[in-house]
Amino acid sequence: MARRIAAGAAYGGGSIGLLGAAAAGVLLAEVQLAKRQVGGGTAPVPPSADGRYGVAFTGPADPLRLGLLGDSTAAGQGVRRAGQTPGALLASGLAAVSERPVDLRNVAQPGARSDDLERQVSLLLADPARTPDVCVIMIGANDVTHRMPATQSVRCLTTAVRRLRTAGAEVVVGTCPDLGTIEPVYQPLRWMARRVSRQLAAAQTIGSVEQGGRTVSLGDLLGPEFEANPRELFGPDNYHPSAEGYATAAMALLPTLCAVLGLWPETDRLDGARREDMLPVAKAASQAAKEAGTEVTGARAPWALLKHRRRRRLPPATEPHPHPHPEMHGEAGGSTRVERRPGTGTDTSPRHA
């Protein structure tokens, strides 16, 4: 299914429905019930996290430029402090690893679907002198909940990745999260939400890596942590992540962000002890969608290399420093390699996230 969606997006195919009419009818009552419960609380407006991070590393080297695009998850809706947003967490972590200041600009829009990426990319690329060094895109949940055709969703994403790569920016895509983890969603809607989310995430992976981007599966990243502490890892509206939830997602994205900039050790050597293997790209994308924290990146066509990368604990959250450049505060292909990142924090055991 992911291969069909990606092909339809690439070659202009029509809509590929992920839910049949019969299934949609059966699930209608469940959808209405979930709508009354999800978002029952009030999520605060995302705080602006734009600015400079890691000012202690100021030196002769120019600051790295980080751009964030996507929906409310990328914007950080659900938390009240700028330092708790995923953009601030990633910028702080990137500054610590690179030992260089990082200028963050976040143009993500709460409620955005993939068709809003064209506008967001245009904002980031408006000034050629300030093209980001690397961009993170987190998108897909609203595409599913608003029943946006999957082919259109993937086509918009791949176009955005291509524009950013053409401009010289590296791109990391956090694929569609597993909506089956949302607490008020009951069976059978929970099973269907998980299936649709994973199919879209796999198709996003195929389309993104073909354009030279890397992807990290957000999937059911909260996994056991969410099951044990749903009130802690989800915000007051029971839909958007809390500060702890955003930190969990940022820890999965940070190693890929560092690797794409050459700041993280990489090797193409397969390690059998870590269950590394080669798969066709479509199978690699499907595997990544099933296992949260899995990275997929270009290697040698048409295969995918599966690897595991350990996550590191994020540095203490910091607030952005005012940036001297006013433009910072404007409107806010080959084959693939897959890296699965087990563990959290500084844990070096081979357990999965």
- Which entry of 72, 98, 114, 286 is annotated as an active-site residue? 72
* Alpha helices by DSSP H, 167-309: 189-210, 223-228, 230-233, 243-260, 281-290
Listed residue (267, 266, 157, 263) closest to 210, CA to CA: 157
- Cβ neighbour number for residue 332 with a 10 Å cutoff: 16
* 115 to 120, 232, 277, 338: CA distances (angstroms): 10, 32, 35, 27
Cα-flanking dihedrals φ and ψ of residue 235, to 5°? -75, -175
The span from the CA of 115 to the CA of 124, in Å, is 16
The two structure tokens encoding residue 297: 């990146």
Cis ω before 188 (30° cut-off from 0): yes
First to last CA, the chain: 26
Handedness of CA 212, 123, 174, 271 (dihedral sign): positive
The span from the CA of 50 to the CA of 69, in Å, is 13
- Which entry of 48, 115, 237, 352 is annotated as an active-site residue? 237
Q: What is the largest CA-CA distance in the chain?
A: 63
DSSP SS3 for 234: strand
Let me know if 116 is a catalytic residue: no
On whether the CB atoms of residues 352 and 340 are closer than 8 A, the answer is yes
- Which entry of 71, 92, 220, 240 is annotated as an active-site residue? 240
Buried b (16+ CB within 10 A) or exposed e, 113-127: bbebbeebbeebbee
The two structure tokens encoding residue 269: 């050597």
Edge-to-edge strands, sheet with 170-174: 51-53, 102-106, 64-70, 134-138, 170-174, 214-216, 294-297, 336-340, 303-308, 277-280
Q: Cite the active site residues.
A: 72, 237, 240
